[in-house]
Structure 1
């Protein structure tokens, strides 16, 4: 309403202002015609005073209100012609004001609009002054002001009513959407917002909101699966530890039996510690993604450090790194990233490859250019079924083909996937009867 009011007032003031200018210009033009006619009749035709007035009035179809015509001899300081008696000091007031201009000069004298023309004949100098009141123009402006005022008020009323009607109509779908959204949470997360017109702005907003709901539902599902899997994975070693302690304390046993029990508890505790550490690594890569410090790293050195660290823990692993495709420009080996996170990812891939291979071995190759770095981890072992490939990077997911073969928690590849994404990279896997290959591609910005 405020904007519409401002626009209507702006146009109304503009119409009134330019109408006033037009009426003033037209009236001054009529005064100029009067002055020119009077000058012609008096000086060129030498017509008498009374005849001048009749001819001037006859020449103008629309008579001027309170018209006064004066011809003043500047040299003799007296009136040559006057349509009516001037008031005292008229010429002393007007002539200095209009004398500065060489062309016909318009002047306001109270309510009167005045025009002065200087005329020179030889040594003589005359001033022809015509003044009148533009009553018709004032009445027209008054009528225009009333019309514009009424039209502005009517326009505001109509815009208010139409704005209220259309705004209510336009916002009606929003009320329905709000009602639907309030019914979704927290019980009906599978439900989606409905809107009849999917092509308008509200429809596109609804589509975007439904996409957000899909992502939220997927996050909720992942969270439920995560909690259920964590509970299951933690329950087994804790239950086993408690049972062993409980059985051991039922009666006194020999030192050898106690030592055997302690070794078993140590193994279960190690398993529990490893699971806890992997869960912490996964949580840190997700929660503290923005806080990870990135530095320039050489990928070949990082591979060698990951190999050395893993060999300390598993001396039976065979890790072969192929340096045959070593780039000529060593700057191509530089990758901006976090050393600790990338080392965890490389060690997990090496560990998985050795763990599931036939001879505990992995073959690592890499290629580096100025645009990207590509790493491949190849082993020969059980084939990952095609149905399991889309899910192996999810936390706690384990394929039936590998779950029975080796111990694990199904968290390592989820950590690798998250770390790779944080470093502007992609991870893919190809598995067939000949080999299984995990490929990392890091793009350089």
Structure 2
């Protein structure tokens, strides 16, 4: 499997190599055009010189050739100059014998374009100019091989090939070096991460530059470690608290059974022992049900089924169910702010989980109030539903407020006064979170108020 360093190097080499090849092809192509243009310009100059000497100055053939060669310091390779009389089908001047069919091949192309024509014939580059003197028509044809241009292009091709190969080699080395330098912090981060174990989960990854992409990745990873550490701490606390809460009733049940079996007793004593065992079993059952409710509440919001619910009916059902279990509870639901529009009472939610949350808040308020009573009021609108649970009981200390929704947390002010396991409010917080709501609490001398707010 190719690592990131190799992948970056290959990608860098591929991109820059493509640019080098395009640049080299462009240099070669435009150099070839320039050399051809320059060579044809020399052919044109020789054709014009030949025409001037032959027709205007009427110089002899041998003199024309000498003067033409003197006019160009650099002789052309395998040069041929022809002056052809089209009317009389006669060659009136030539430096060498023309190959068969030259005029039939070149002249129609010149006549078609009606201008000076550059023509490639095999290895030769040929130029033809038509001259008219009265009724006579003459063709001046100059042909040669651009040997110097070919050699220059060949040298340029070799230079470009060598430079591209050297460039690719340098690109590979530099790309590998810079990729290694860019990814060097990742090696340090991997080493730091491998040193983090459950025993030292509080350790965090360090990176000098926190503003670059790797720094942002490190910051995100440290945030993940914060959540993992919090989850591990909560897990340890959960296991310790569950073990403690389960141990007490089980120990009491075992001790009572053991003492009862030491000797025969009267039916009244057995009955009293069974009642005590029944109370301990009820406590154990309540704890087990609370743990199951907590486990069911810690699920993803996508897994719970939401349906339209009327909040007034849900409150009434929760009240009826709770009072069946606790006949001494007084639960008053305030309908003074009942909305005119029925739609304001409807929200999307899971009936079973919301009923558990409402019953836990009612039970918590009644349990810690002086007269086992709670006043429930709600304000419903098309945008949100707010439910308030008010009771008159012990003031919750300011220092305890941030922790009362944590599992198994119990305030020192209430732990001794009332039996409980510290799970109910944690269940309420989880269910509220799953319904995209929030919960808050205010506790003062007037009383304690828990407020649920569900946005629609």
- TM > 0.5 between the two? yes
Structure 2 CA distance, aligned partners of 1:123 and 1:285? Answer: 110
Q: Does 1:77 align with 2:86?
A: no
Shift of 1:224: 0.4
Q: 1:247 maps to which residue?
A: 259
Is 1:137 paired with 2:136? no
C-alpha spacing 1:121/1:381, structure 2 compared with 1 (3 Å): farther
1:81-135 Cα shifts (integer Å, max 9, x gaps)? 4332211222233344555433433332111122334555665554443322222
- 2:421 pairs with 1:409: yes
Paired position in structure 2 for 1:275 = 287
- Aligned 8 A contact 2:369 2:392 in 1: yes
CA, structure 1 residues 413+121, in 2 after alignment: closer, same or farther (shift >3 Å)?
farther
Distance 1:237 1:93, change over 3 A: same
Is the counterpart of residue 68 in structure 1 residue 80 in structure 2? yes
Residues 301 and 435, structure 2, Cα contact 8 Å, conserved in 1: no
Residue 229 (str. 1) matches residue 245 (str. 2) = no
2:369 aligned counterpart, secondary structure: coil
User: What TM-score, normalized by structure 1, do the two folds share?
Assistant: 0.90
Asked if the contact 2:388–2:450 (Cα under 8 Å) also holds between the matched residues in 1, the reply is: yes
Aligned to 1:105: 117
- The aligned counterpart of 1:14 is 26
Identify the residue that residue 317 of structure 2 maps to in structure 1.
Answer: 305
Task: Verify: 1:330 aligned to 2:342, yes or no.
Answer: yes
SS across alignment from 2:98: coil
**Aligned residue pairs: how many?**
444
Q: Provide, for residues 170-194 of structure 1, a one-character-per-residue CA deviation record: whole Å limited to 9, x for no partner.
A: 3333323222222222432222223
Distance 2:119 2:276 in 1: 116
Q: For the structure 1 residues 237 and 97, does the alpha-carbon distance in structure 2 shift closer, same or farther, using more than 3 Å as the test?
A: farther
Question: 1:309: Cα distance to partner?
Answer: 1.9
1:115 match: 127
- CA shift for structure 1 position 404: 1.3
| Structure 1 stretch displaced more, 406-415 or 139-148 | 139-148
Select between 175-184 and 214-223 the one with higher mean Cα deviation. Answer: 175-184
Counterpart contact for 1:98–1:107, Cα < 8 Å: no
- Structure 2 equivalent of residue 443 of structure 1: 455
What is the RMSD computed on CA atoms of the aligned residues? 2.6
Q: How does 1:1-400 map to 2 (within 5 A)?
A: 1=10, 2-3=13-14, 4-39=16-51, 49-50=61-62, 52-54=64-66, 56-60=68-72, 62-97=74-109, 99-119=111-131, 124-400=136-412
Please give the alpha-carbon distance, in whole angstroms, between the structure 2 residues aligned to 1:197 and 1:265: 64
Write out per-residue CA displacement over residues 46-97 of structure 1, whole angstroms, 9 at most, x where no aligned residue.
6654555455445545443322233334444333443322112222333445
Partners in 2 of 1:329 and 1:266 — Cα distance?
48
Q: Distance in 2 between matches of 1:25 and 1:212?
A: 69
| Aligned equivalents of 2:385, 2:396: Cα separation in 1 | 25
Q: 1:80 to 1:304 in 2, by over 3 A?
A: farther
C-alpha separation in 1, matches of 2:73 and 2:327: 121
Note the alpha carbon deviations across 1:18-61, whole angstroms, 9 max, x for none.
32233223333443444455556656666654555455445545
Quote the Cα distance in structure 1 between the aligned partners of 2:326 and 2:302.
33
1:184 counterpart SS class? coil
Match in the other structure for 2:431: 419
Give distance in 2, aligned partners of 1:14 and 1:138: 17
Q: Which runs of 5+ in 2 are unaligned?
A: 1-9
More divergent stretch after superposition (382-391 vs 92-101): 92-101
Question: Shift of residue 398 of structure 1?
Answer: 0.6
Moved more, 88-97 or 400-409: 88-97
What is the alpha-carbon distance in structure 2 between the residues aligned to residue 65 and residue 133 of structure 1? 5
**Are residues 310 and 93 of structure 1, via their aligned partners in 2, closer, same or farther at CA, if it must alter by over 3 Å?**
same
Which of 246-255 and 216-225 deviates more?
Answer: 246-255
User: Where does structure 1 lack aligned partners over 5 or more consecutive residues?
Assistant: none
Mean alpha-carbon deviation: is it higher for 234-243 or for 379-388? 234-243
Judge conservation of contact 1:71–1:79 (CA < 8 Å) in 2: yes
Distance between the aligned counterparts of 2:56 and 2:267, measured in 1?
149
Q: Aligned partners of 1:306 and 1:123: how far apart in 2?
A: 120
Q: Is the 8 A contact 1:345 1:419 kept in 2?
A: yes
Change (3 A) 1:414 1:88: same
Distance 2:385 2:46 in 1: 94
